[in-house]
């Protein structure tokens, strides 16, 4: 299983098992060389993932279709991410 973090990009394939990095909320995702931003960022207002999400990761599946990536997990979470054309890094690196 791969991790969605600055260190390990998710391979671009449909329905790839992955670990979404959630430590500072659900905001960004990298799939191979493409950086994505959450269509609707999620956090608890304190810079953590919302209740019901794992911390620092949430296991699930990422599907990429064109300029969108969708994360789904067994808890019913669904987050749509939009590609950031030309981006070469994350907007924010969470420690």
pLDDT < 50 positions in the chain: 1-3, 5
Give how far Cα 40 sits from Cα of 7, 15, 26, 28, Å. 23, 21, 9, 10
Instruction: Give the separation between CA 64 and CA 25, rounded to whole angstroms.
Output: 21
pLDDT in tens, 47-64: 999 999 999 999 999 999
Give how far Cα 81 sits from Cα of 31, 49, Å. 11, 16
pLDDT reported for residue 9: 62
pLDDT reported for residue 84: 97
Q: Which residues contact 8 (CB under 8 A, 6 or more apart)?
A: 2
């Amino acid at each position: 299983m791969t991790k969605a973090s600055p260190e390990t990009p998710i391979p671009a394939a449909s329905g790839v098992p992955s670990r979404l990095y959630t430590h500072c909320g659900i905001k960004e995702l990298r799939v191979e060389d493409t950086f994505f931003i959450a269509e609707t960022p999620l956090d608890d207002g304190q810079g953590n993932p919302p209740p019901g999400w794992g911390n620092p990761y949430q296991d699930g599946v990422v599907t990429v279709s064109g300029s969108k990536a969708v994360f789904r997990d067994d808890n019913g979470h669904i987050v749509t991410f939009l590609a950031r054309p030309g981006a070469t890094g994350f907007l924010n690196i969470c420690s």
